[in-house]
Amino acid sequence: MAMLPQLTEGLGVTALIFILTLLFSLPLGLFLSFGRMAKCRLLAGLAKFYISVMRGTPLMLQLVVVYFAPYYVFGIRISSSWRFLAVILAFVLNYAAYFAEIYRSGIESMPAGQYEAASVLGYTRAQTFVRIILPQVIKRILPSITNEMITLVKDTSLAFVLAEVEMFTVAKQFAAAQASVMPLMIAGVFYYFFNLIVAVVMERAEKLLSYYR
C-alpha cells in the first residue's frame, strides 16, 4: 500500500515524541514530587499548584500555549524548528505532573521504620533514598507508570494541533484524500502494536523486579 511508508515515517515521529517525553518527564516528575512533599510550605504550594494546573487543563490547550508563548510573552518570532520542540516541552511539562503524583504516592507508602533503620546503620538520608527507598518505590509504581506510558502513546496524536506530522496526522491526510477511514484504521493497528510492545516490555520489567515471589 502506498501509504505504508509514510505511515511508518509518521510512526517514527510518534516514537520519538514518546521516547523524549519519557526521558525528560520521568526525572522531572521525581523532582516535582520532592517539591510536593517539601517541608517548605511555599515550595510545596508551588509544586501542588503546578501539578493542579497541568492535570486540570487539556494537553491540547497546553500545546497551543507553549507554542505561542515565545511570541506573545517575549515577542520572539516563532520559527518552524520551534514546532517540534514545543510539542516535546508541552508533553514533558504535562506528564511530569502525573509522574510526580505517582512518585509521591509510592514514596509516602514506604514505612517510616525503613528510614530509621537505615539511619541506625549509618546511611545518610540521600543514601537511604537512593539505595533503599527508590528501588522499592519503582517496584510499587511500575503498573501506574505503565498505564501513563500507554496513555502517552495515544496522546502523541495530539501533536497534530501544532501541525507536527506524526502518524495520526499522516493517517488523517490520507483519509481525507481517499475519502476513506481505512488509513485511520491502519494507524489504529499501528498504535495497538506500539502499546502492545510497551505493555510486554513493562510486564517483563515487573517480573524482573518481583524478586521476592
The neighbour count for residue 108, using CB atoms within 10 Å, is 11
Q: Which three cell numbers stand for residue 72?
A: 506573545
Q: What is the mean pLDDT of each run of 10 residues along the chain (213 residues)?
A: 78 94 96 93 95 95 93 81 93 97 90 76 78 84 94 93 86 82 88 94 85 54
What φ, ψ does residue 165 adopt, rounded to 5°? -85, 80
What type of residue is 30? Answer: L
Which pLDDT does position 212 carry in this prediction?
Answer: 52
Say if CB 68 and CB 40 are below 8 A apart.
Answer: no
Query: What is the C-alpha to C-alpha distance for residues 8 and 170, in angstroms, rounded to an integer?
Result: 9
What pLDDT, on a 0 to 100 scale, did the predictor assign at position 148? Answer: 95
Cell 505504508 identifies what position? 4
- String of b and e for 154-167 (b: at least 16 CB within 10 Å)? ebbbbbbbbebbbb
Question: What three-state secondary structure class fits 125?
Answer: helix
The pLDDT assigned to 1 comes to: 58
Q: What is the pTM of this model?
A: 0.90
The confidence score (pLDDT) of residue 136 equals 85
Per-residue model confidence (pLDDT) at position 125: 77
